[in-house]
C-alpha cells in the first residue's frame, strides 16, 4: 500500500470513528459473521463503550482487539460505506 493510499485510509478511519457511535457495530457485522460471533462483537463493543471515557477511545479499543477477519469487515465498511 503506497503512502498516499495509507493516508486516505487513515483519514477515513479517523473520520468514521469520530462521526459514528460504536453501537453501529451491530449494523456493520449483522449477516456478515456467524450469530455467536455477532453477539460477541456487539457485547465487546458495549463493554468498551461502558468502560471508556469517549466514543473514540471505545472505537480504538475495539479496533485493536479484532482478529484479522473481523478487522477486514470493519475496514471494508469504513472504506466502502455501510450496506
pLDDT tens-digit readout, 39-61: 999 999 999 999 999 999 999 99
pTM of the model: 0.89
How far apart CA 13 and CA 23 sit, in angstroms, is 16
- Indicate the helix (H) or strand (E) that contains 42: helix 35-50
User: Directed axis angle between helix 55-64 and helix 3-19, to 10°?
Assistant: 130
Q: What is the pLDDT of residue 2?
A: 83
Amino acid at each position: 500500500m503506497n503512502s498516499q493510499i495509507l493516508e486516505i485510509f487513515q483519514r477515513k478511519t479517523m473520520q468514521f470513528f469520530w462521526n459514528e457511535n460504536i453501537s453501529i457495530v451491530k449494523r456493520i457485522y449483522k449477516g456478515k459473521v456467524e450469530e455467536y460471533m455477532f453477539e460477541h462483537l456487539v457485547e465487546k463493543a458495549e463493554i468498551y463503550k461502558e468502560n471508556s471515557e469517549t466514543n473514540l477511545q471505545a472505537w480504538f479499543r475495539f479496533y485493536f482487539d479484532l482478529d484479522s477477519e473481523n478487522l477486514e469487515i470493519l475496514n471494508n465498511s469504513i472504506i466502502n460505506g455501510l450496506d
